[in-house]
Chain A
Amino acid sequence: QLQLRESGPGLVKPSETLSLTCSVSGGSLTRRNYYWGWFRQPPGKWLEWIGSLSYSGSTYYNPSLQSRVTISVDTSNNQFSLKLRPVTAADTAVYYCAREVTFGGLVGLDSWGQGTLVTVSS
C-alpha cells in the first residue's frame, strides 16, 4: 500500500529556507507515468499547488512561486524534497505531498501524506 509522509521543521524564521522531505513507501518514485507533487493549504484557506516532479526527474513549478521553489529527488531513498526561500509569514501553511495520476483515464491526486504544519515566525 502506498504511503507518503512529510517531514521537516515546523517553525522557520522569515527570510530563511523552508525545507521538507516526502518519504514514499509502497511505490517507486521512478515508476513510469506517475508524478509527485507538493501542495499547501494556509490556515482556513484552500489548496495551492506548489510544484511537481516527474518519474524521470523533470520538475514543474507554480509560476507564482517559481522563483523561490526547488523540488529535488533522492531515488536511493525514495524521497523527494521541497525548498522554498526566502519565506515570509504568507508561507505559513500545512504542506502536503501527493501522488499525481494523469493516465489511464484517471486524472487526480490519489494518495496524500498526512500533512505538516510549517509556521513562519521569528
Chain B
Amino acid sequence: EMVLTQSPGTLSLSPGERATLSCRASQSVSSSYLGWYQQKPGQAPRLLIYGASSRATGIPDRFSGSGSGSDFTLTITKLEPEDFAVYYCQLYGSSPTWTFGQGTKVEVK
C-alpha cells in the first residue's frame, strides 16, 4: 500500500517568506502522477500542481513543484495572505486509485 508522508505538519511563516513543503512516498513513483492541492477552511481542495511540476490553470507562478522518485517538494516563493491554508500531495495509481498525504498547514507566524 502506497503511503504519502508530508512534512512538516505545520509551517509558521510570515507573509513574504518562502514556504517549502515536503511529500515523501513509501516507494518510488512516477512524477507524472504526483499532484498538490490547496484547501482553505470550509472549501473544497483546489488543484495547484500536476505532474509534480506543472501549474494548473490560473495558478500564480509563486507556486512551484519539483522532485522525483520518492521525494517531492512544493515551494511558495513569497507568501501572500491568501496562501495560508492546508496543502495536500496526491498520487494517482492505476486501476484507478487516489492517495493523499496527511497535509501541511501553512499558518501565519
- How many angstroms from the CA of A110 to the CA of B96 in the assembled complex? 16
Interface size on A, residues (CB 8 A): 25
Which of B12-20, B77-85, B99-107 forms part of the interface with chain A?
Answer: B99-107
Of chain A, the residue at the smallest CB distance from B44 is A112
Report if A60-B35 is in contact (Cβ < 8 Å); known contacts: A46-B102, A107-B51, A109-B47.
no
Whether, in the assembled complex, A91 has its beta carbon less than 8 Å from a beta carbon of chain B, the answer is no
Q: A71 to chain B: closest CB distance in Å?
A: 13
- How many angstroms from the CA of A24 to the CA of B44 in the assembled complex? 16
- How many angstroms from the CA of A39 to the CA of B45 in the assembled complex? 11
- Hey, which bits of chain B sit against chain A, CB under 8 A? 32-33, 35, 37, 43-47, 50-51, 54, 56-57, 88, 90, 92, 95-103
- Hey, which bits of chain A sit against chain B, CB under 8 A? 35, 37, 39, 45-49, 52, 60, 62, 96, 98, 100, 102, 105-110, 112-115
